[in-house]
Amino acid sequence: MNGLNSAPRFYMWTHPNRSWMENFAQNLLSPDIVMWGEESETIPAWYAWTSRHFDEASTPQEFLDKMTAMKAMFDGAMYLASGRNYYPLELVNPSAENVQDQEIVCDLPYPGNVTINPFSPKHLKTHHGLDQSKLDDPLTRNIFLARYDEVAFAILKYVGVNGITYQSLYAFRDWMKDAGWDDKKIADEAGWSGSRLKDFTNTANNPAYLGPFARHGGSKDPPPKRPMLLDEAEKGLLQAVNRFLLHRAATVDLRAEWNALR
């Protein structure tokens, strides 16, 4: 169970049917997300997914809300690492390690509240005992960063809920600009010229070209002269936002925060 001293109190199950899951679950060493495969003589078909931040939940609603919000952040971190190649895991069969906790995971009042902060104040102070090299994993780093940085928190939650779309890629630009990066900096980090960034914004805003996938409604604007396909937009803005989050990690001295909890 990834070096945990004891089993998590609550967990969900997923049946991903993906060849990479066994290696992923075995190598995921995060203070915030825990996964392990079912006991099996072959490759596990089912994997448990949970977080130590759920351990303090005392009601079905609290567990469900924490799980829903943390799953959105996990999905967001996975999208940032893998782009649209990632398909969110389906979580089923809520389970409790101890019999006396079963009532908390039975008859959950779906849907959960994705807008809450899922981090447990108690677990935020818990020593994880992990080497600092684990912070080099993008998923582990970005969720850990969200503990300390409200911009990273918002980005993970947003893209986790909405996926990679023209709207969410445009939202990355909004967050980067609000945090001090101008369009020239964003274009540079995306590997684009300033005019190519403008092509992206013109495309994302244009309902004549994108229809229901556009950021705006209306039908008066003509289609963009140089539309940007989603593949190109995704590649550039994922590169930019990941570099932006590395900058945020350096700003809060994330490695020092990590080492303080070793």
pLDDT in tens, 98-116: 999 999 999 999 999 999 9
Same domain, 22 and 120: yes
| Confidence (pLDDT) at 54 | 98
- Last residue of a domain, which of 125, 157, 190? 125
Q: Which amino acid is at 50?
A: T
Q: Does residue 148 lie in a domain region?
A: no
CA–CA separation, 72 and 67 (whole Å): 9
Please give the mean pLDDT across all residues of the chain.
Answer: 95
Residue 57 confidence (pLDDT) above 90: yes
**1 confidence band (pLDDT: 50, 70, 90):** low
In a domain, 142, yes or no: no
Residue 203 counted as domain residue: yes
In a domain? residue 81: yes
Task: Provide the β-strand partners of residue 13.
Answer: 48, 92
Same domain for 81 and 169, yes or no, is: no
| Cα–Cα distance for residue pair 116/63, rounded to 1 Å | 11
Last residue of a domain, one of 109, 125, 141: 125
Q: What percent of the chain has pLDDT over 90?
A: 87
Under a CB-based contact definition with an 8 Å cutoff, are residues 196 and 174 in contact? no
- Percent of the chain at pLDDT > 70 equals 98
Query: Can you spell out the DSSP letters for 18-51?
Result: -TTHHHHHHH---SS-EEEEPP-SSS-S-EEEE-
In a domain, 146, yes or no: no
Cα torsion angle, 170, 115, 179, 51, sign: negative
Each residue's pLDDT tens digit, 168-187: 999 999 999 999 999 999 99
Residue 72's domain spans which residues? 10-125
What domain count does the chain have? 2
Could you tell me if 106 and 212 lie in one domain?
A: no
CA 184 to mean position of chain CA atoms = 26
Q: How confident is the model at residue 5 (pLDDT cuts 50, 70, 90)?
A: low
Distance separating alpha carbons of residues 72 and 172, to the nearest angstrom: 16
Q: Both 18 and 87 in a single domain?
A: yes
Predicted local distance difference test score (pLDDT) of residue 216: 84
Helices (H) and strands (E) in the chain, counts: 11, 4
Whether 15 and 89 share a structural domain: yes
CB atoms closer than 10 angstroms to residue 207: 17
- Give domain status of residue 245, yes or no: yes
10 phi and psi angles, rounded to 5 deg:
-130, 155
Residue 198 scores a pLDDT above 60: yes
Asked if residue 150 belongs to a domain, the reply is no
- Which position has the higher pLDDT, 229 or 2? 229
